[in-house]
Chains A and B, each alone.
Chain A
Amino acid sequence: MAPKEPGIKETRILLRHAGVPDLHKLATYESYGGYATQKRAYTELEIDWMVDQLEESGLRGRGGAGFPMGKKVSFLPHGDEAKYLCCNADESEPGAFKDRELMQRNPHQLIEGIAIASLAGDIGHAFIFIRGEYDKQGDILDEAVAEAYAAGYLGKNILGSGHDLELVVHRGAGAYICGEETALLDALEGKRGNPRLKPPFPAVQGLYGGPTLINNVETLSNVPHVIANGADWFKSFGTEQSPGTKVVSISGCVKRPGNYEVELGVKLRDLIFGLAGGPLDGHEIKAFYPGGSSSPVLEPKDLDLPYSFESMAEAGSMLGSGSIIVADDSVSIPHLALRTARFYHHESCGKCTPCREGTNWTVKMLERVVRGEATPMDLDIISSVQKNIIGHCLCVLGDSMAMPVSAMVNKFRKEFEEVIAAAAVSEFPTLVGRPIPVGTQEAAGH
């Protein structure tokens, strides 16, 4: 689909009527057509047809990896063993806040999606793993789930279909790593959130050792729409490889930060300038993360690329969770790299050495850079540390630091060298090997 321009407008499906004050209440949701699709799914539709539609629609996971949702469902074994569904609502990626909006404004859309996906996958137990910080949204979900039970959309023998579904809202307690699907399973089992070795993948052996379908809030919120309107309708939005709409979180140095729902494939420029209002007055865009803090940064020359999974991958970055963070010319890239690295250092669970040590040393080296105690050679060492993290751990947390930091060092090397030179001349004589004084970390360090 060709992006509309100029004067881009949003294409709202998931966020349609999101401004209605009581949409989070069951009666209001039903008055806008809510749960009609679940009724059809539980009483008329063939399960095979629904799985086909989900696969055919090309709906890709909206949590970060972009794996086709229908394929995940079809991977579940057919058998009598207990199967589980986990909705990943542990949205903790810096820059991402779309799931918060979807759960706060339209929790029943998510519950309906979970109910339909559970029927399609023959799943009897479902969980919404919501990050502990989202207390208000957790309360809204608790109320919505209670309403759905009372109305017979959850529980035993739903709508006379013979299918049972228990849905539990499980609150995390503050750990980015629990957004990683296997760490999420450990946290749900009441353990410290450490990732597991894959394979076996969760579709084969997941929660409590049973086959488990794990999907993001936005992915599951799309399910009722795909089933109600069909795969062809869904594919009429977006691009061939990235069908559908996407709720994009735009933040950082822009005039109107927030969530915007657009067709995939619109131009980045339309998103950042058209919808989010562009950079603050008197400033220009210097760099931006196109898919959350884990994605390699792009530069202003990339603004005319279409915003889709395939186009971001081609540009050497990723669409990730669909979160754009804009940095303008007032932001120092070495400091941005340090701020990014500190986050991953804080959140590394410590299980795998390349991530635990790599994030630690990257932070220390970047602190030396901004303090003027580094030499340009240190930039090569930083790059080599990043190479030794990528692909060497159980999960991608370490990679998520290594990719943006490498991109920043590569694309803005000149600025790093200038910062090193300026700081070395002005304040600090460069003494290689000098111990780092305790307590001189940047403000707000973690």
Chain B
Amino acid sequence: MDRYTPLEDFVGLDLPVDQANTTGRDQLGEPEQIPELSDVNCPDELRQLIEALMDRYPDKDSREGHKSASIPALWAVQRQYGWCTPEGIRQAAAVMKVTPAYLESVASFYDLLRLEPSGKSQVLVCTNISCWMRGGDELLDAFCEASGADRGKAGHGGALSADGEVMVSGFECLGACDLAPMVSVNERYFGPLEAADAKTVIDQLREGADVLPGKSLAKRPLPGGEDVPADDRTDSLKGPNQ
């Protein structure tokens, strides 16, 4: 489905500014009305999950509503449908008793909540300072080449591979500068990578195989060694880590 209405549909000159759909996203129902649960066809498991998430926060009974679960609820929608679909946002809004417009305004703030189809797998390539100095841009080039994703778009919010299965996106610091240059593949970290690893990762994702088992963060030891001898002050340690 083409998610974008033609340009003239949402910048019509006779529309008042506050009614103009400036993001170009399709409207589904009335975004400023809280939808009825009976109208949105919310799967039971998603509803129960969101209700459980809402119960975790102390604002669930407060006068201002119970919005704390917004981000976790949007994560739940994304896990259910692969991205934050307009239908999924309406379902979450109906469960949470907030407007779809509100949830969409939250989703659009955060880089990891995706408002467009984003394939079965996501590869985030860090291009921030430490990775950039160690070849992060070149690694992003290699991933685009291996997957057929558009390099220009990949550097600006992400692009789908030629077969639509993998999203490749340049990303700001992922917090793993020790692995530079590194990638996050389906929310797991790998590094340091070479350009040749890009094709391996894309092939492994297509085959459904484990991604680069030898380069996973989970297997990385502390750089100063796993065991550093204690001195007399740390030796007499009380409490944790004795």
Question: Is A15 part of the contact surface with B, judged by Cβ < 8 Å?
Answer: yes
Question: Is A436 part of the contact surface with B, judged by Cβ < 8 Å?
Answer: no
B156, A445: Cβ atoms under 8 Å? yes
Instruction: Find the residue from A189, A225, A276 having the highest chain B CB count within 10 A.
Output: A189
Stretch at the interface among B38-46, B159-167, B199-207, B214-222: B214-222
Residues of B with C-beta under 8 A to A258: 178, 222-224
Cβ 8 A contact of A12, one of B177, B218, B228 = B228
Question: Is B12 part of the contact surface with A, judged by Cβ < 8 Å?
Answer: no
- How far is the CB of A321 from the nearest CB of chain B, in Å? 11
Q: Per-residue CB proximity of B44-77 to A under 8 Å, as 1/0? A: 0000000000001111001000011111101100
Q: Per-residue CB proximity of B131-156 to A under 8 Å, as 1/0? A: 01110110011000000000010011
Residues of B with C-beta under 8 A to A100: 175-176
Closest to A112 in B: B240
Question: Is B85 part of the contact surface with A, judged by Cβ < 8 Å?
Answer: no
Question: Is A14 part of the contact surface with B, judged by Cβ < 8 Å?
Answer: yes
B71, A187: Cβ atoms under 8 Å? yes
Instruction: Find the residue from B113, B137, B141, B224 having the highest chain A CB count within 10 A.
Output: B224
Question: Is A3 part of the contact surface with B, judged by Cβ < 8 Å?
Answer: no
B112, A133: Cβ atoms under 8 Å? yes
| A185-233 CB contacts (< 8 Å) to partner B | 187-193, 208, 224-225, 227-229, 233
- How far is the CB of B103 from the nearest CB of chain A, in Å? 9
B178, A249: Cβ atoms under 8 Å? yes
Count B-side interface residues using an 8 Å CB cutoff.
69
B70, A343: Cβ atoms under 8 Å? no
- Tell me the complex Cα distance, A189–B136, Å: 35
A224, B155: Cβ atoms under 8 Å? no
- How far is the CB of B83 from the nearest CB of chain A, in Å? 13
- Tell me the complex Cα distance, A186–B228, Å: 41
Say yes or no: A260-B175 contact (C-beta < 8 A), given A16-B234, A33-B238, A109-B240. Answer: no
Q: Per-residue CB proximity of B15-59 to A under 8 Å, as 1/0? A: 000000000000000000000000000000000000000001111
Question: Is A422 part of the contact surface with B, judged by Cβ < 8 Å?
Answer: no
Cβ 8 A contact of B177, one of A257, A336, A347 = A257
- Tell me the complex Cα distance, A192–B224, Å: 40
SS class, residues of chain B in contact with chain A: loop
Question: Is A432 part of the contact surface with B, judged by Cβ < 8 Å?
Answer: no
Question: Is A6 part of the contact surface with B, judged by Cβ < 8 Å?
Answer: no
Q: Per-residue CB proximity of A225-264 to B under 8 Å, as 1/0? A: 1011100010011000000000001111100111110000
B224, A444: Cβ atoms under 8 Å? no
Cβ 8 A contact of A229, one of B134, B217, B226, B239 = B239
Residues of B with C-beta under 8 A to A323: 177
- How far is the CB of A338 from the nearest CB of chain B, in Å? 10
Residues of A with C-beta under 8 A to B106: 190-192
Closest to B139 in A: A444
A34, B240: Cβ atoms under 8 Å? yes
Instruction: Find the residue from B132, B152, B174 having the highest chain A CB count within 10 A.
Output: B132
Say yes or no: A325-B129 contact (C-beta < 8 A), given A13-B237, A15-B222. Answer: yes
Cβ 8 A contact of B67, one of A99, A189, A193, A228 = A189
Residues of A with C-beta under 8 A to B239: 33, 36-37, 224-225, 227-229
| B119-133 CB contacts (< 8 Å) to partner A | 124, 127-130, 132-133
Closest to A253 in B: B133
B58, A125: Cβ atoms under 8 Å? yes
- Tell me the complex Cα distance, A254–B239, Å: 35
A190, B237: Cβ atoms under 8 Å? no
- Tell me the complex Cα distance, A10–B141, Å: 38
Count A-side interface residues using an 8 Å CB cutoff.
95
- How far is the CB of A151 from the nearest CB of chain B, in Å? 14
- Tell me the complex Cα distance, A228–B222, Å: 26
B178, A191: Cβ atoms under 8 Å? no
Question: Is A168 part of the contact surface with B, judged by Cβ < 8 Å?
Answer: yes
- Tell me the complex Cα distance, A298–B118, Å: 41
- Tell me the complex Cα distance, A249–B234, Å: 21
- Tell me the complex Cα distance, A250–B69, Å: 36
Residues of A with C-beta under 8 A to B133: 252-253, 327, 331, 336
- Tell me the complex Cα distance, A339–B68, Å: 34
A97, B176: Cβ atoms under 8 Å? yes
Question: Is A17 part of the contact surface with B, judged by Cβ < 8 Å?
Answer: yes
Instruction: Find the residue from B69, B70, B188, B228 having the highest chain A CB count within 10 A.
Output: B228
Question: Is A19 part of the contact surface with B, judged by Cβ < 8 Å?
Answer: yes
Residues of B with C-beta under 8 A to A444: 127, 132, 136-137, 140, 155, 170
Closest to B138 in A: A443
Cβ 8 A contact of B172, one of A18, A176, A229 = A176
11 further A-B contacts with Cβ under 8 Å, apart from A16-B234, A343-B128, A445-B155, are A36-B239, A37-B240, A94-B130, A95-B129, A97-B176, A168-B56, A173-B111, A173-B112, A190-B68, A249-B177, A336-B133
Q: Which residues of A contact B (CB under 8 A)?
A: 9-19, 29, 32-37, 82, 91-97, 99-101, 106, 108-109, 112, 125, 131-136, 166, 168, 170-176, 187-193, 208, 224-225, 227-229, 233, 236-237, 249-253, 256-260, 275-276, 289, 293, 323, 325, 327, 331, 336, 339-340, 343, 346-347, 349, 439, 443-446
Q: Which 8 A-B pairs have the closest CB atoms?
A: A228-B239, A19-B226, A258-B223, A190-B67, A190-B70, A251-B177, A174-B111, A33-B242
Query: Can you pick out 15 interface pairs between chain A and chain B where the beta carbons lie within 8 Å of each other?
Result: A16-B237, A34-B241, A101-B222, A108-B240, A170-B68, A173-B110, A174-B110, A174-B111, A190-B106, A191-B106, A228-B240, A249-B178, A252-B177, A276-B223, A439-B152
